[in-house]
Structure 1
């Protein structure tokens, strides 16, 4: 416990292991998808896409049954709350959140939605040569599959924009608000007011029970 500027603070655990694994896994898998698409390693692109679909599905479900800071109910706020937070963003003492702040919550929802959409579009996308089309492309017409392929490319550009904003926010919070978001997502702890709440967490076996059927579903999908 430390005293900073007259405010007594303590080191508090804010991110559970499944949330941290998800965060770094999505970074690795998205980079793999990007590289394999650019280098035309489409078999590995498909495997990485399955991985993205699996962990995005896990994160969405974890948002309902995980620990406090992982649950959507603990950080998703309405437009008014987001606007009030954004107006005082440079104030270090304004809205010190344990988990995601209102703007971060908005980023998470948008990113999860775009990632899920990206994988669904990829499953049905039809490429011109037909050799690297999505595994479910035979279920749609050629025209529909081509449209999905174009949307797949457009949605990727949206994801790059969101990721760029995310990285900019990380730098901003480090330089302006003095918060190291990266280290907190590595070890799971951050400095917080001693009078603040301590979040609750759920046992790891709940994450395992959630991950196993998702893994089975992805394996079955890959065998189609």
Structure 2
């Protein structure tokens, strides 16, 4: 069942003004930790993708990126109201209707993810899985050059989706007169009290952050070498060749 709350922007002026007086919790802490960690890992991996000197950092961020994607899939099944996939699986006609309202500068308001944002999320999770699997295969020298090209192509496609997503956030923030970026930091948005979630799940969010930071420490200190797959001998030889050049 779709649990997102919608109101037409033009006709619901009075109700929106009343909601603005009340701030409710929409995004739990695990969702917010995931969002910013996922964005940081993708940005960092993109910036280090062409550097042999920073390959270890690129691989570390790639592993983290993959682990975060797995967490988000699980949290999408058992998380809070607006984090669950069930709350933002929209039929195609609702996506078309939302896009038309957006072009008319009168977009429908969704307390949770809107249909366009939902498409971006599913696309990024799908591409994230493809990026992680093709990147791991490349790291292990499996599949040859075509897998490396697939890895780069998937990453480029995801970058394009991320840029469109950011543009959509800016446009929606301006049209709805609410700061969506700030909401993803605080977890709060204007809304009726009954629409908010009860629990922020701070323990789960803190555990997720500790797991990310702990993995980074283990990777950088070498403690993770005992249980992480190591690069193939061919990949190591290629890296040494590039370093010599």
Q: TM-score, normalised by structure 1?
A: 0.80
- Does residue 12 of the first structure (1) align with residue 15 of the second (2)? no
SS at match of 2:144: helix
Displacement of 1:197 in angstroms is 2.4
Distance 1:190 1:156, change over 3 A: same
Q: Could you tell me how far apart the structure 2 residues matched to 1:171 and 1:213 are?
A: 31
Distance 1:83 1:5, change over 3 A: closer
Q: Could you tell me how far apart the structure 1 residues matched to 2:203 and 2:193 are?
A: 31
Distance 1:118 1:6, change over 3 A: same
SS at match of 2:190: strand
> Contact 1:66/1:201 (CA < 8 Å) preserved in 2?
no
> Contact 1:91/1:177 (CA < 8 Å) preserved in 2?
no
Displacement of 1:210 in angstroms is 8.4
Displacement of 1:107 in angstroms is 0.7
Displacement of 1:32 in angstroms is 1.2
Number of the residue aligned with 1:170? 169
Root-mean-square deviation (Å) = 2.9
Distance 1:115 1:152, change over 3 A: same
Q: Could you tell me how far apart the structure 1 residues matched to 2:170 and 2:210 are?
A: 36
Displacement of 1:165 in angstroms is 0.1
Out of 58, 62, 75, the position equivalent to 1:62 is: 75
Q: With CA pairs under 8 Å and 6+ residues apart, which has the higher RCO, 1 or 2?
A: 2
Any gaps of 5 or more consecutive residues in structure 2? 1-11, 231-245
Number of the residue aligned with 1:35? 47
Distance 1:71 1:201, change over 3 A: farther
Q: Could you tell me how far apart the structure 2 residues matched to 1:210 and 1:187 are?
A: 17
Distance 1:37 1:111, change over 3 A: same
Q: Could you tell me how far apart the structure 1 residues matched to 2:133 and 2:66 are?
A: 8
Any gaps of 5 or more consecutive residues in structure 1? 126-133
> Contact 2:27/2:83 (CA < 8 Å) preserved in 1?
yes
> How many residues were matched structurally?
205
SS at match of 2:173: helix
Distance 1:172 1:115, change over 3 A: same
Q: Could you tell me how far apart the structure 1 residues matched to 2:81 and 2:164 are?
A: 25
> Contact 1:68/1:201 (CA < 8 Å) preserved in 2?
no
Q: Could you tell me how far apart the structure 2 residues matched to 1:96 and 1:72 are?
A: 18
Q: Could you tell me how far apart the structure 1 residues matched to 2:211 and 2:87 are?
A: 26
